Amino acid sequence: MRLLLATLLCTPILAQAATLSVCTEASPEGFDVVQYNSLTTTNASADMLMNRLVEFDAVQGKLLPSLARSWSISADGLVYDFQLRDDVHFHHSAAFTPSRNLDARDVVFSFQRMLDDQHPWHAVAVSGYPHAQSMQWPSLIARVEAPDAHSVRITLSRRDATFLATLSMGFASIYPAEYAEQLLAAGTPEKLNSAPIGTGPFVFERFQKDAAVRYRANPEYFAGKPAMDRVIFAITPDSNVRLQKLRRGECQIALSPKPQDVQAIAGDAKLKSAQTAAFMTAFVGINSQHPPLDKPQVRQAINLAFDKASYVKAVFEGSAEPANGPYPPNTWSYARELPGYAHEPERARALLAEAGLADGFKTTIWTRPSGSLLNPNPSLGAQLLQADLAKVGIDAEIRVIEWGELIRRAKAGEHDLLFMGWAGDNGDPDNFLTPQFACASVESGLNFARYCDKDLDQLIADGKTHSDQAERSRLYHQAQAIIQQQALWLPLAHPTAFALLDAKVEGYRVSPFGRQDFARVSLAR
């Protein structure tokens, strides 16, 4: 009787536990976000588990305080002083109980491990620090200091108008120095990646590759405990299956739906969709280090051979705009005077002949197996490109590679033609230029064109030294002209970002940057 009574008393409590299941399209590469550059990994780690000194609010279009409650910048633009919150708790886990709240030591640790190649934690990141390297942080940041427990001073070696906004990116997440010390002493530093600890709205529970990531709400979250007690990322590569799970109530949110999935739920009172114009560009990266793709005429021919309008219509079904360059049209400094490449197969053949390739050549097209926001139908897209290239004499073999492996090998520069996409983090145009076209990004692996040119690199660098937006725009227009002339990408599309939702979901917003915020999400009763 006593046992039965205890069971009955517990039952209502368990029933009240609110769980949000989110159908996602791929497994994260890991949870130590500094090592990775995919949005899938950022969503699963930085967005769920971590915080940064500042955050970019897409609705307001400005930077807001986060772990730093305030900041100031010196008149010369070189010294950034941050005042930290004193009420930020790190997560508790079975293996780690923090002895203190977040303070300046954690910020210094999080930056120094990326910047100092002699730091005990630097070599622990087996995949390196692609974003920090691309943003040239080791040369940009001269010092990171802690004047006191709740103050951090970052001194730059040169002015950089993008630096503060960059601090909102996932790789600038703040880690617990105390946990890192514990792991290093135990000889298990890899657990920073497999058993992450942060300050964010949710606490990591467990991860099963290609199956699920499980989280629980952080009751001590400084911005307030999330409405949902638990969140599950149900990893579901097939968009059709994501929709089926949503219909069956197995998921309440389905990410990266195909355009036809959005149309399919129209009129269904139990489901709804959310959308926004995405600050993203889908593209095919052309590896300029692989002959004959090292010749600009060949890269131009690939652009001219492709019927982009037909591709966008077939793959995105009216939910995207064709792209002419790296920037979405709503980016300040977007070069409207650059038309991009028209569909001119005859001109493409002429350029190939000019490059000594009148008989064509063989190459490969790399794509992922499952759809995403930036590539809703990978198989169809690759086939369309393959067919158009064949018409001008280019024999392209399609290779379908699992997402994590695709990213790893592409960063190593193994690809020829690569279906890829890029999402800006904060609305600044440099967020496309430095990661994708700077020389430092060739070394870090983010520059999928594998192109390093001193003139282009200098324009990108100079653009960051000016605070005047008009001057930055002038320089970025010149950079875009070089990118187009050199045909470093085959730009594809600027998509509309969608999510499919159970009608009971409240508080969810689609981010134009692809970031996810489930801390404000609830389910109506």
Given a cut of 90, is residue 8 above it in pLDDT? no
Give me the mean pLDDT over the 72-96 stretch: 97
The sheet with strand 151-156 has its strands ordered as: 68-73, 79-84, 151-156, 141-148
- Average model confidence (pLDDT) across the chain: 94
- Confidence (pLDDT) at 6: 41
For residues 378 and 367, is the Cβ–Cβ distance under 8 A?
Answer: yes
Half-sphere exposure of 199 (CA within 13 A, CB side): 24
CB neighbours of 445 closer than 8 A, spacing ≥ 6?
Answer: 37, 128, 130, 410, 411, 412, 413
Give the whole-angstrom CA distance, residue 198 versus residue 369.
32
Ranges of each domain in the chain = 19-231, 280-495
- Confidence (pLDDT) at 15: 40
Give me the mean pLDDT over the 200-229 stretch: 97
Given a cut of 70, is residue 507 above it in pLDDT? yes
pLDDT tier for residue 10 given thresholds of 50, 70 and 90: very low
Q: What is the pLDDT of residues 50-71, one digit of tens each?
A: 999 999 998 888 899 999 999 9
- 365, 411, 449 from 441: Cα distances, Å: 22, 10, 10
Q: What is the pLDDT of residues 395-407, one digit of tens each?
A: 999 999 998 899 9
- Confidence (pLDDT) at 180: 97
- Confidence (pLDDT) at 370: 86
- Confidence (pLDDT) at 318: 85
Phi then psi for 223, rounded to 5 degrees? -95, 5
CATH of domain 19-231: 3.90.76.10
Tokens for 198, please give them.
């942060």
Given a cut of 70, is residue 387 above it in pLDDT? yes
Query: Count of residues for the chain?
Result: 525
- Confidence (pLDDT) at 452: 97
Is 3.40.30.10 the CATH number for 280-495?
no
Tokens for 387, please give them.
């067919």
Tokens for 469, please give them.
């937006």
Q: What is the pLDDT of residues 155-191, one digit of tens each?
A: 999 999 999 999 999 999 999 999 999 999 999 999 9
Q: What is the pLDDT of residues 329-375, one digit of tens each?
A: 989 999 999 999 999 999 999 999 999 999 999 999 999 998 888 99
**450, 425, 427, 426: which is closest to 440 by C-alpha?**
450
For residues 273 and 262, is the Cβ–Cβ distance under 8 A?
Answer: yes
Give me the mean pLDDT over the 135-158 stretch: 97
| H, E, C per residue of 329-359 | CCCCCCCCCCCCCCCCHHHHHHHHHHCCCCC
Given a cut of 50, is residue 13 above it in pLDDT? no
Given a cut of 70, is residue 16 above it in pLDDT? no
- Confidence (pLDDT) at 107: 98
- Confidence (pLDDT) at 14: 38
Give me the amino acid identity at 419.
F
- Judge whether 19-231 and 280-495 match in fold: no
